[in-house]
Amino acid sequence: MIADFKYTALYKRIGYQFKDAANLTLALTHRSFQKQHNERLEYLGDAVLGMIIAEELFKRFPQQPEGKLTRMRSTLVKGETLAVMGREFELGDVLQLGSGELKSGGFRRSSILADAVEAIIGAIYLESGYEVCQKLILNWFQSRINDLDPGAHPKDNKTQLQEFLQGRQLPLPEYTVREIQGKDHDQLFVVECSVTNLADVVLGTGSSRRKAEQQAAKSALEILNDAN
């Protein structure tokens, strides 16, 4: 009962009341807090979410090829989208984090929030099954699905990073090849992305310089977003 009272506001925000509040507590428990944590639920929730979104897009866009359906699904289920949803649900207020994560601002870290959303989905699936999950998730994602444009071309990571920095009047990133491993026909590029005011050394790897730069830009974006 105490746990139920603690989660009353969250139940309203997500549109679902857990039959056993302990299931929600586990979904909100980060590995830094205790040995029994939410990673298994996150794994399950990721699969359930992907299936429900894929099925909905398959039905809603009957003329679109596999490639466009995949891109649209990725836009909806990517970590950035789930982190925004986690903030909308105000999950940061109820997460169970270890002292180190609390001190470093883990309650607002995008990756932790996104993982918690997936874990909640996994917990709801175990409690109430696929149909309840489907109805709930489609309600959560309704406006985002309605806004999808099959003809849109998502911006790549380098473009997103550039726009992020320009929007804050910061210098553009610099990319430097740190290492090239392997033989000519099977090379692995290691690229560093340097961003002003970012103390971390951000590296990306890929089978080409372009792919390595994109991976480095993605990592830099994640760090910058987590810091906000």
Active site residues: 46, 118
115 vs 27: CA distance, rounded Å: 9
28 vs 161: CA distance, rounded Å: 30
- Residue 175's beta-bridge partner residues? 193
107 vs 83: CA distance, rounded Å: 11
176: left (phi over 0), alpha (psi -120 to 50) or beta: beta
How are strands ordered across the β-sheet holding 202-206? 174-181, 188-194, 202-206
Element (H, E) at 181: strand 174-181
Q: H helices within 28-65, ranges in order?
A: 39-60
155 vs 57: CA distance, rounded Å: 21
